[in-house]
Structure 1
Amino acid sequence: MPTPTADPRRPWLAAAALALLAVLAWTFAHTHDRLTWALETFPVWVALPLMAATQRRYPLTSLLYFFIFWHCVVLMVGGQYSYARVPAGFWVQDAFGLQRNPYDKLGHFMQGFVPALLAREILRRGGYVQGRRMLAFLVVCVVLAFSATYEMIEWAAAVMLGQGADEFLGTQGDPWDTQSDMAFALLGAVVALALLSRLHDRQIARLPAPDRRAGA
């Protein structure tokens, strides 16, 4: 197999990774609840090493890297304050007369938006699915499965940690919080597919052929 060529984006990706590590350190230093911070930022701890390890043989599109960056920021800010206490959420709550801080819904929207692009990229590049409609359908199924799994993780944390999981759950007294979380993830997936599929396809087509074969 040909050796993958050097990715010209590597300096920018390295700078983005350093920026995320700086935000991670800042949020850790200024959080009021380090257990909640650890739980909320755990996906960042998984994603950054994984992307670093696979960047040479299976680089992602710039579009996906861009939104992964901002998803990580959303997670880290949510971990710093806990989702129910993020100041930006209170501004939106006051501006629109909402009954609760909506920042966690942004988190769940991103939980659908970004995994939709990731699932689409893997399925598209690997040639696992034929047809745009079937691709979109399976991407939505993956997002809903991921969202449901995350809700089960939250449930397990609540069982194991008891009252200590209240900040992590962030339900704010809403009995339908789980259902609305999954609905926002679904909305994020649909928006990502509707707005970005064509741009995503163009970027996938520009990836070097040896790298695409490595991911098949």
Structure 2
Amino acid sequence: MALPPILLAATVPILVWSGWSPNDRGDWLLENALVAIALPLFVAGYRRLRFSTLSYLMLFVFFCLHEVGAHYTYSRVPYPQWLEWMPDLAWTGAGESRNHYDRVVHFAYGFFVMPAVFELFASRAALQGLWRWIVPVTFVMAHSMVYELVEWGAALVFGGDLGLTYLGTQGDEWDAQKDMLLATLGSVAMTCLLAAARWRGLRAAVADTWSQR
């Protein structure tokens, strides 16, 4: 059986867990509004545009990270307690006033969506030269900016504690800029890995060609 249908089926229990007594029901609904849009689009477009197994797997990993944040609310994810058995990771946030889980997920967004973004452009808007590397990164940067605008708009519309919880700045006036930077760094990191893998593949192909002469 192909992996994508298995991953799609696995989203159901994860959503059930995430939605079972979340810390803030209103925030959970807001956090999953985009999921409610994205999942049907992936299903509807599966026959017209299929991504690689790697892309689907990475998107699923990001989905899991997001649902953890949605369940606890991003500012309350108890990851320091989960890592107490690793004393060398004391820097992860134990004892600090700010919860950095949202920072991790913003970086993860840039990192884990990049394979699918490259495949999307290769299929729908093939690029040449350096543009094939630059445009996907700027595409993710633009998505990150749009998401920050959506957060801001939701905070204005709903206001109160719900708006502040969804916005998740935790008192940091530069929160949006830092989130966009981390998404950019994540996308650049994955781009470098993909470029290195492609370069190694080209070198292996050239070496194989010369060995046959």
> Which TM-score bucket, shorter chain as reference?
0.7 to 0.9
Find the residue that maps to 2:32 and give its secondary structure. helix
Partner of residue 191, structure 2: 193
Q: Which residue of 1 aligns with 2:126?
A: 128
Are 1:116 and 1:142, in contact at CA under 8 Å, matched by a contact in 2? no
Normalized against structure 1, the TM-score is what? Answer: 0.80
Percent of aligned pairs sharing the same letter: 35
Contact 1:112 1:188 in 2 (8 A): yes
2: CA distance, partners of 1:76 / 1:191 = 23
1:18 maps to which of 1, 9, 14: 9
CA distance in 2, matches of 1:43, 1:74: 14
Higher relative contact order, chain-length normalized (CA < 8 Å, sep 6+): 1
Q: CA RMSD in A?
A: 2.3
The correspondence of residues 167-178 of structure 1 with structure 2, limited to 5 A, is: 167-178=165-176
CA distance in 2, matches of 1:97, 1:18: 33
1:62 aligns with 2:69: no
What residue ranges of structure 2 are gaps of 5+ in the alignment? 201-213
One-letter amino acid of the counterpart of residue 49, structure 1: P
Letter of the 1:137 counterpart: I
For residues 103 and 19 of structure 1, what CA distance do their matches in structure 2 show?
Answer: 23
User: Does 2:109 correspond to 1:111?
Assistant: yes
Q: Write the distance in 2 (CA, Å) between the matches of 1:37 and 1:127.
A: 35
Which is greater in Rg?
2
Cα distance per residue 1:14-70 (max 9 Å; x no partner): 221121111101111120211111111223222222222222232111111011101
Match of 1:147 among 138, 144, 161: 144
Is residue 30–residue 166 contact of structure 2 (8 Å, CA) maintained in 1? Answer: yes
Q: How does the TM-score come out when normalised to structure 2?
A: 0.81
Q: How many pairs are equivalent?
A: 192
CA deviations over 1:83-113 (Å, ceiling 9, x no partner)? 0111115656982064321110111112212
Q: Which runs of 5+ in 1 are unaligned?
A: 1-7, 203-216
